[in-house]
Amino acid sequence: MKIFADTADIQQIKKFLDMGAIDGVTTNPTLLAKQAVDPAEQVEKIVKLVPGPVSVEVISTDYEGIVGEGKRIAELGDNAVVKAPMTQNGLRAVKALSHEGIKTNVTLVFSPSQSLLAAKAGATYVSPFIGRLDDIGQDGMSVVRQSLEIFRNNSLGTQLLVASIRHPLHVIESAKLGAHAATVPPDVIDKMFNHPLTETGLKRFLDDWELLGKKLGSSIAPYRN
């Protein structure tokens, strides 16, 4: 499963790229608004920085507007993916854009029937928002499970990109179900690295090493410069 960073924060994106933790990035108007900088410049920087797919969301809601914005977004780079809302105008635009070979991501998906329609429109990615479903007492992961089953049983080439992730278990469950990608907020990626036994284990190794140095009467670091 590919992991995308769900952020428009360039420092965070750089950090995770350097660790090999992410394969791409997803942005949206809310994430760009948090950066409080010119969104077009920020998006351009992210598309240049990231070797993998970068989703950039349209603001228009009418068909012509979505197609027009989508074409300009696609010109940002081969890795730019046009994010369009799960509406009738959005899917009509996705169909037109995908016919021109432009990559698309249908966002704000909350049900398997929406996933099916978005895939039939030719979307490259479909993004179910599982955390927001969990927030209202529904089972977000069930939309992932059912959408994947629909895609597989109907030979639909669309990739399922799990979004609105709240914690590492969402990522692990998505990977176990065979989702193609998950877009994960930076704080959740950080949590995926952590385990208390890793921290205490490292501390113990270093403490024991220091103890040995004391026994030998000098600090030992044979492999350091």
Which residues are annotated as catalytic? 83
9 binds ligand G3P (CB under 6 A): no
Please choose, out of 63-71, 94-102, 125-133, 137-145, the segment that lies near ligand G3P by the rule CB under 6 A: 125-133
Please choose, out of 16-24, 37-45, 126-134, 205-213, the segment that lies near ligand G3P by the rule CB under 6 A: 126-134
- Residues in contact with ligand G3P, counted by CB under 6 A, come to a total of 9
| From candidates 164, 173, 179, 181, binder to ligand G3P by CB under 6 A | 164
**Amino acid symbol at 60:** S
CB of 27 to ligand G3P, least distance (A): 8
HSE toward the beta carbon, residue 11, CA cutoff 13 A: 1
Pick the closer one to ligand G3P by CB: 32 or 119: 32
CB of 183 to ligand G3P, least distance (A): 5
Please choose, out of 60-68, 127-135, 140-148, 174-182, the segment that lies near ligand G3P by the rule CB under 6 A: 127-135
Q: What is the distance between the alpha carbons of residues 207 and 40, in angstroms, rounded to a whole number?
A: 50
CB of 140 to ligand G3P, least distance (A): 10
CB of 6 to ligand G3P, least distance (A): 5
Per the CB < 8 A criterion, the answer to whether 163 and 107 are in contact is: yes
- Total Cβ atoms within 10 A of residue 95: 15
| From candidates 163, 171, 182, 188, binder to ligand G3P by CB under 6 A | 163
CB of 130 to ligand G3P, least distance (A): 9
CA distance to 121, 205, 221, 225, per residue, from 213 (Å): 66, 13, 9, 17
Cα–chain center distance at 87: 21
Q: What 8-state DSSP symbol labels residue 163?
A: B
Q: What is the distance between the alpha carbons of residues 189 and 104, in angstroms, rounded to a whole number?
A: 24
Pick the closer one to ligand G3P by CB: 96 or 123: 123
Q: What is the distance between the alpha carbons of residues 187 and 203, in angstroms, rounded to a whole number?
A: 24
Q: What is the distance between the alpha carbons of residues 31 and 8, in angstroms, rounded to a whole number?
A: 6
26 binds ligand G3P (CB under 6 A): yes
| From candidates 71, 95, 132, 145, binder to ligand G3P by CB under 6 A | 132
Per the CB < 8 A criterion, the answer to whether 114 and 127 are in contact is: no
Give residues with Cβ within 8 angstroms of 76, minimum separation 6. Answer: 43, 44, 47, 56
Q: Which residues bind ligand G3P (CB under 6 A)?
A: 6, 26, 28, 129, 131-132, 163-164, 183
